């Protein structure tokens, strides 16, 4: 499978991407991870991205597109993958389409997790993250084995500074404005699969498999 996961902030894309990777043998291609990797490796696009990241600014489309293109043009490019956090805009989607065509990698589907904005705002209050490994948790739906502590390294979980209602609503406005054109873009060729992103994590995962026709 070659998948794209779409969904607003807090919709659970990262959690579902990890499940798909672990159970379906897919490579997890996360925009954040790739940006950090390119910066560490000092690639030309990585150096450009670093300047924006150090300044706390969004990395421009053309730089992100170059970094994603570099990843798929490498000898170790994945044959099966799930893209999480990219594309976010129509120009990014067009750039990705071109790169995948060049590499003869046809998308299987684009899974869009649909969640009501108010539900997302409510979720944020329960979201926690490990400051060491960045593993995300949700105190109701995906709690750690030991309250307040990361399962992997035992670090005390924290709440991100921007996990508050005002910030989340602003991020949702930006998301809807940016991604409004992505839904018809992927619906036209029959790639879009809309899946309700509410409820139990395992139940959502099973809904994704059903939408993909996987048993």
Q: Is 13 a catalytic residue?
A: yes
Looking at 23, 47, 160, 170, which residue is catalytic? 160
Q: Which of 2, 77, 169, 171 is catalytic?
A: 171
- Give me the catalytic one of 127, 135, 193, 207: 127
Q: Residues 6 or more apart from 137 whose CB is under 8 A from it?
A: 127, 128, 129, 130, 143, 144, 150, 157
Q: Which one is catalytic: 39, 88, 135, 193? A: 88
Q: Is 171 noted as a catalytic residue in this protein?
A: yes
Catalytic residue among 13, 128, 135, 207: 13
77 included as an active-site residue = no
Q: How far, in Å, CA of 115 to CA of 10, rounded?
A: 9
User: Which tokens is 86 given?
Assistant: 């990219």
The rounded distance, in Å, linking the Cα atoms of 136 and 201 is: 13
- d(CA 125, CA 164) in angstroms, rounded, equals 7
Q: What's the alpha-carbon Rg for the chain, to the nearest Å? A: 17
Q: Confirm whether 135 is a catalytic residue.
A: no
Three-state DSSP string of 28-54:
EEEHHHHHHHHHHHCCHHHHHHHHHHH
Residue 88 annotated in active site: yes
Tokens encoding 158:
């924290």
Residues recognised as catalytic: 13, 88, 127, 160, 171
């Amino acid at each position: 499978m070659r998948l794209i996961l779409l969904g607003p902030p807090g919709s659970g894309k990262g959690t579902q991407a990890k499940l798909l990777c672990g159970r379906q043998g897919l490579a997890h291609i996360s925009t954040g991870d790739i940006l950090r990797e390119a910066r560490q490796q000092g690639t030309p696009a990585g150096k450009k991205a670093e300047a924006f990241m150090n300044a706390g600014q969004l990395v421009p489309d053309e730089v992100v597109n170059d970094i994603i293109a570099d990843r798929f043009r490498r000898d170790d490019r994945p044959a099966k993958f799930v893209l999480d956090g990219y594309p976010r805009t129509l120009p990014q989607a067009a750039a990705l389409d071109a790169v995948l065509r060049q590499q003869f990698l046809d998308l299987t589907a684009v899974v869009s997790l649909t969640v009501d904005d108010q539900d997302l705002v409510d979720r944020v209050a329960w979201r926690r993250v490990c400051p060491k490994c960045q593993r995300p948790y949700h105190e109701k739906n995906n709690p750690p084995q030991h309250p307040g502590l990361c399962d992997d390294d035992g670090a005390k979980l924290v709440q991100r500074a921007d996990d508050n209602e005002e910030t989340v609503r602003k991020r949702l406005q930006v998301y809807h404005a940016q991604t409004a054109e992505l839904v018809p873009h992927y619906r036209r060729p029959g790639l879009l699969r809309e899946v309700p992103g509410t409820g139990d994590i395992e139940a959502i995962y099973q809904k994704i498999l059903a939408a993909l026709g996987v048993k």
